[in-house]
């Protein structure tokens, strides 16, 4: 794209973002923090507007670049029922499917670095029962990229409970498509990967995570199965089947039936720990000193396209790059950026070239499951990218 066209595009995007921010401000009387850099005011307006529309009860968010956190925000309430509670920076959130990329994928890649597995090995080499129903050719790479051919989730139509039942359902699940043919986001993929971690490490997944990932990073408030004494600090999600408000108990029904620990969901965390995680990952990926417990080349492998050749849905090893789940990239961050979302309303998007990140933590499912932050994620990423002056000359892929 010619330089003049690129400049015009930058100007148009900035004008649109600022106009949106100004319009929102006129309709939202909330006071702004005096210390907020002016370039992030449109970001704050987006959160206030989403809360005013009932899209989420509250949010905690942060933006960083080049190893620094350049903006933080706390908005709305962390609870609405049985009574309102204000959101705080220290609030703990159910991270939902961010568990996949924060814990399970890096655990698998640690085992890969140790030579305990190969990415193109069949899964049944490590879990022989997985070969049932024609799955003998499915590989670990296909699980990580969601090209296994498995359905989205195990059967929840009957009231089963217990990890043993979940393992049986996952290992015996039939294929919906031939392996490698189609991208289908599947929790079964990461339930299975979690089982591989447990088989090869000899540890329960939560214990492995604490020892091999969370402890090296110094994360003190990230864990599965939060202690009940932390209940008041946790953002509640929604009512379960018995009309009990879930608070400190995982929202995902499959993980909940499994006892709270699974490869696809179950992790709880907070903004400070997630910022530490993001900075450490980006620094290690850039070849800088970092406590992140994987090699630089492994992180590059995880965050670059690894899907089958010729497929248009781009996935790394765990991380999303360009699929219909990629709205948290916004319209400005480059096609080389990557990230992931969680069903409860969490998301993390990362830009390797500038070590930038956008972290959004919400409990948008509280109290009735009707909140929706898809547009908020997209718009915040766009506004944050403009604030960071990350304007790509080419539109992102996908």
How high is the pLDDT of residue 388?
Answer: 95
pLDDT higher than threshold 60 for residue 80: yes
The pLDDT value recorded for residue 389 is: 84
Q: Please indicate, yes or no, if residue 369 is contained in any of the structural domains.
A: yes
- pLDDT, position 37: 80
Cα–Cα dist 39/168, whole Å:
52
**Average pLDDT value over all residues in the chain:** 91
Count of Cβ atoms closer than 10 Å to residue 31 Cβ: 6
Q: Is residue 158 part of a domain?
A: yes
Its pTM stands at 0.89
* Least confidently predicted of 7-21, 182-196, 241-255: 7-21
Domain with 147 in it: 40-392
Percent of the chain with pLDDT over 70: 89
Residue 61 lies in a domain: yes
- Segment 169-177 shows an average pLDDT of 98
pLDDT tops 90 at residue 366: yes
- Checking if the pLDDT of 391 tops 80, the result is no
- Res. 10: pLDDT tops 80: no
Q: What is the pLDDT of residues 210-264, one digit of tens each?
A: 999 999 999 999 999 999 999 999 999 999 999 999 999 999 999 999 999 999 9
Relative to beta strand 85-86, strand 314-315 is unpaired
- CA dist list (Å): 203 to 68, 209, 303, 380: 35, 9, 26, 39
Total number of domains constituting the chain:
1
pLDDT tens per residue, range 18-43: 333 333 322 333 334 446 789 999 99
The vertex-209 CA angle with 238 and 324, nearest 5°, equals: 55
Tens of pLDDT, residue by residue over 108-129, are 999 999 999 999 999 999 999 9
* pLDDT score of 35: 64
Mean pLDDT of 299-313: 98
Residue 162 lies in a domain: yes
Q: Say if 302 falls within a structural domain.
A: yes
Question: What's the whole-number mean pLDDT along residues 367-392?
Answer: 90
Map residue 189 onto helix, strand or coil.
helix
Lowest-pLDDT choice from 9-13, 87-91, 247-251: 9-13
Q: What is the CATH number of the domain that holds 91?
A: 3.40.710.10
Torsion region of 24: left, alpha or beta (phi above 0 gives left; psi -120 to 50 gives alpha): alpha
- Is 32 a domain residue? no
pLDDT at 338: 98
Complete DSSP assignment for 65-100: ETTEEEEEEEEEEEE-SSS-EE--TT-BEE-TTHHI
Look at residue 36 in the predicted model and tell me its pLDDT. Answer: 72
Beta bridge partners of residue 341, listed in sequence order: 347
């Amino acid at each position: 794209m010619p330089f003049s066209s690129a400049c015009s595009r930058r100007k148009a995007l900035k004008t649109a973002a600022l106009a949106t921010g100004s319009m929102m401000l006129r309709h939202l009387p909330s006071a702004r923090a005096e210390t907020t850099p002016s370039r992030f005011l449109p970001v704050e307006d987006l959160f206030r507007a989403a809360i005013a529309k009932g899209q989420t009860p509250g949010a905690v968010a942060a933006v960083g670049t080049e190893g620094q956190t350049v903006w933080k925000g706390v908005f709305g309430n962390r609870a609405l029922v049985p009574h309102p509670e204000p959101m705080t920076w220290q609030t703990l959130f159910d991270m939902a499917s961010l568990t996949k990329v924060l814990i399970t994928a890096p655990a698998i890649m640690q085992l890969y670095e140790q030579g305990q597995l190969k990415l193109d090995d069949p899964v049944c080499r490590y879990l022989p029962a997985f070969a049932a129903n024609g799955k003998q050719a499915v590989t670990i790479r296909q699980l990580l990229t969601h090209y296994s051919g498995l359905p989205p989730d195990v059967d929840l139509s009957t009231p089963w409970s217990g990890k043993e039942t979940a393992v049986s359902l996952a290992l015996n699940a039939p294929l919906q498509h031939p392996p490698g043919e189609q991208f289908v986001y599947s929790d079964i993929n990461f339930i299975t990967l979690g089982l591989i971690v447990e088989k090869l490490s000899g540890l329960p997944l939560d214990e492995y995570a604490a020892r091999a990932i969370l402890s090296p990073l110094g994360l003190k408030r990230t864990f599965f199965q939060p202690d009940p004494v932390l209940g008041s600090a946790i953002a509640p999600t929604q009512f379960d089947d018995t009309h009990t408000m879930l608070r400190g108990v995982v929202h995902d029904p499959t993980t909940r039936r499994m006892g709270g620990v699974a490869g696809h969901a179950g992790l709880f965390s907070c903004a400070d720990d997630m910022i530490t995680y993001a900075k450490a990952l980006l620094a290690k990926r850039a070849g800088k000193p970092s406590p992140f417990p994987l090699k630089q080349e492994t992180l590059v492998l995880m965050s670059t396209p690894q899907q089958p050749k010729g497929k248009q849905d781009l996935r790394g090893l765990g991380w999303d790059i360009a699929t219909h789940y990629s709205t948290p990239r916004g319209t400005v961050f480059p096609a080389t950026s990557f990230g992931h979302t969680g069903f409860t309303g969490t998301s993390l998007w990362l830009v390797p070239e500038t070590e930038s990140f956008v972290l959004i933590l919400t409990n948008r499912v509280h109290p009735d499951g009707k909140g929706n932050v898809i547009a908020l994620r997209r718009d915040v990423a766009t506004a944050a990218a403009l604030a960071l002056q990350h304007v790509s000359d080419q539109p992102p892929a996908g």
